[in-house]
Amino acid sequence: MKKSNTAVNLWIVGSIGIDDIKTRTSDRKNLMGGSLPFSTAAASFFTTTGAVGVVGGDFPAAFDRRWKAFGTDLAGVQRKEGATFRWACVYDNNMIERETLKTELGVFADFMPELPESYRRAPFVLLGNIQPELQLHVLKQSAGAKFVALDTMNLWIDIAKPALRRVIRRVDLLTVNDGEARLLTGKWNLCDCAAAIHKMGPAYVIIKKGEHGALLFSKRGVFIVPAYPVRKLVDPTGAGDSYAGAFMGYLARAGRVTDGVLREALLHASAVASFSVEGFSLECLERLTLAQIGKRVAELKRMMAV
């Protein structure tokens, strides 16, 4: 583990991969992928962000350079002998359904997250979509955490629900999609799902509905934010990770958590995620500016005005 000289406000743990992705218009190989590059790149528009993950000896140096260009601190990225996590998929023509063609865990199979000392004092934490046991392991190292968000998926709900419930009890916010919320709680109505998750521990719940936006549930009620209507959908991979990263990055920049800040964070998350899907991998995020993000946030606010 490298020593970090950067005081990060937010650290994120997740997967780092090399992807092959086929869509209705293109077939791309050896793309920088995994949840962590998307989420940290999105967060880095708003705050100093640290990455916690693992790569193998085959991880291209060019990927490192592209990642660092966002200002992301990579002291938490372990370098191991072996192959980097690899994943391949093909999307249906609707660009919603997809078939996984290949999953090769490589060094990710033995990943044991360890935080650099400076990360342990960071006030904001995003536990990306990895095994619940690893999420809990790394969370125990984070003595300075003031606000912790958790992302998960149906796989862990199916095969590791007891461990996942232990993590959920310790976080401030859980983000899931509508299907995962129903699977986790056994309920159908999303308001009932959110109420059941509140009882598990988190004060806040975000339920994502893909192209239909997201719902934020808190003690003060429900806030609905639409997805930005993208005209040119190129690759949906990483949209949820970009959304979560931008959301947490905005909270970390604000330095406080109120309903107003949370709502602004959701609008910024929707805007950043809309850019992410307009290209493959980090291509569009690499060209993105804060001014462009602000423009789409303003457009969303106009769309929501009554």
Distance in angstroms (rounded) separating the CA atoms of residues 75 and 144? 18
The better pLDDT of the pair 7, 56 is held by 56
Does residue 111 sit within a domain? yes
Does residue 76 sit within a domain? yes
Work out the pLDDT band at 155, boundaries 50, 70, 90: confident
Distance in angstroms (rounded) separating the CA atoms of residues 66 and 63? 5
Q: Contact, 208 vs 184, CB < 8 A?
A: no
Work out the pLDDT band at 5, boundaries 50, 70, 90: low
Distance in angstroms (rounded) separating the CA atoms of residues 37 and 241? 9
What is the reported pLDDT for 284?
Answer: 97
The residue segments making up the domain with residue 300 are 10-304
Domain count, the chain: 1
What is the reported pLDDT for 140?
Answer: 95
* Segment 185-222, tens digit of pLDDT: 999 999 999 999 999 999 999 999 988 899 999 988 99
Percentage of residues in the chain having pLDDT higher than 70: 98
Distance in angstroms (rounded) separating the CA atoms of residues 306 and 295? 19
Q: Contact, 11 vs 72, CB < 8 A?
A: no
- Cα distance between the two ends of the chain: 52
Does residue 4 sit within a domain? no
Work out the pLDDT band at 25, boundaries 50, 70, 90: confident
| Contacts by residues 194-203 (CB-CB < 8 Å, ≥ 24 positions apart) | 194/222, 197/168, 200/165, 200/168, 200/169, 200/174, 201/168, 201/169, 201/170, 201/171, 202/150, 202/168, 202/171, 202/172, 202/173, 202/174, 203/172, 203/173
Does residue 31 sit within a domain? yes
What is the reported pLDDT for 2?
Answer: 57
- What CATH number is given to the structural domain containing 171? 3.40.1190.20
Cα-based torsion angle of the residue sequence 74, 76, 80, 83 in order, rounded to the nearest 10 degrees? -60
* Segment 219-241, tens digit of pLDDT: 889 999 999 999 899 999 999 99
The better pLDDT of the pair 2, 73 is held by 73
Does residue 63 sit within a domain? yes
Does residue 263 sit within a domain? yes
Q: Supply the mean pLDDT for the chain.
A: 95
Average pLDDT over residues 51-72: 97
Does residue 141 sit within a domain? yes
Does residue 202 sit within a domain? yes
